Every structure is written in C-alpha cells, then in structure tokens.
Amino acid sequence: MALSGKKVCMIVDFTYEDLEVCYPQIRLEEESATVIKVSLHKPGTKVTGKYGYPVLVDKHIGEVSAADFDCVICPGGFAPDYYRRDEQMKRLVAETLAQKKPVAAICHGPWMLCSAKSESGNPVCSGVKVTAFHAIKDDLENAGAIFVDEAVVCDQNIITSRTPKDLIPFTLAIIAALK
C-alpha cells in the first residue's frame, strides 16, 4: 500500500471537530498509514468530539517527539484552543516543520501555527500561505501568515484547509505529501 510504514500524529482533545479526525484517519488507514492519536491526556482516555464521536488517546504528548512521525495533523473544533497553549504540543509542531515534514491543519487547527515558534522565534506560519476557518483569519495574519481563501493550501510543508467541506482535498494533499 502507498503509505505503508508511515506514521501520522493526530492531535486530539475534547471538543475536536468530529469529521476532521474521523475522515482523515479512515483515509490514511485505507492507504496503510498508522494514525497515532496524541493528546494532553493519558493513553486510553476517551476524548469526544463536539458531536460526541469518541476516540481513544494512544500517546500522551510527553511520550512522543517529531522524530516519531512522518506528519502531524491538527484538527479543528474547539480543541485547538486547549492544545495550542501547551509547550510540548507547540514544540512538536515546530520540530516537525524543522525536520521538513508536513504539518496539516484544518478549520481552527491553524491556530497551532500561530502559537508554535520556529527557531528564529517567529510563528511557524509567518510568511507562509495558509487558509483556515474565516474566524481566525485575523489571528493568522497577525502572526505573519498570508491568508488565502481556498479549499486547501500547501506551502512550505504546511497543509491547511477551511472547514469539514474541504476534507477531501485536505486529506488528498496529506496523502500526496506522504508519498
């Protein structure tokens, strides 16, 4: 299979956008990638999305590093407001990009790109074309990102999308980046 041996980190926390976790996970697993759900909560914790879909945490953020994964996905919903405050989560995203590996973020997930800092101390989205849910456009632009209103935007190993309606092109872009 196309993505056999690839490991993908899916960041999860309570009130994630259900479809933004479920759809990419199913599609990536269909391509034989391994999806590992990483959280601020201990392994085995059942976290639920905004609409009640449950997933089990595989790893606590303290147990992983960027070297463990080929890609990191930051789903949206309300969860990014929690995990973007955690230093270990921010470091995971920044180190993944520093290792020239893709980071994908959808809906409110690109908030992580504002909070994670590059080695220069700037937000990792600074100078990068991105898209997201329209409500966080100002946050991204204030962090130095170049906001583009398109279904999916790929720039400098960062893959972004706006909403669940963009999940097909978003997930296809992740699959293409991992091949």
Whole-number Å distance between alpha carbons of 179 and 176: 5
Q: Give the three-class secondary structure for 58.
A: coil
Known catalytic membership, residue 9: no
Catalytic residue among 71, 107, 114, 125: 107
Catalytic residue among 9, 71, 74, 108: 108
**Residue 1 pLDDT more than 80?**
no
**Residue 149 pLDDT more than 80?**
yes
Q: Give the three-class secondary structure for 16.
A: strand
Going by C-beta distance under 8 Å and a sequence separation of 6 or more, which residues neighbour residue 30? none
What Rg, from alpha-carbon coordinates, does the chain have?
A: 14
CATH of the domain at 99: 3.40.50.880
Whole-number Å distance between alpha carbons of 32 and 17: 23
| Owning domain of residue 106 | 7-178
Known catalytic membership, residue 60: no
pLDDT of residue 66: 99
- Backbone dihedral region of 77: left (phi > 0), alpha (psi from -120 to 50 degrees) or beta? left
Give residue-wise pLDDT tens across range 33-72.
999 999 999 999 999 999 999 999 999 999 999 999 999 9
Over range 110-135, report the average pLDDT.
Answer: 98
Residue 2 lies in a domain: no
Q: What is the number of domains present in the chain?
A: 1
Residue 71 lies in a domain: yes
Give residue-wise pLDDT tens across range 79-99.
999 999 999 999 999 999 999
Residue 127 lies in a domain: yes
Residue 1 lies in a domain: no
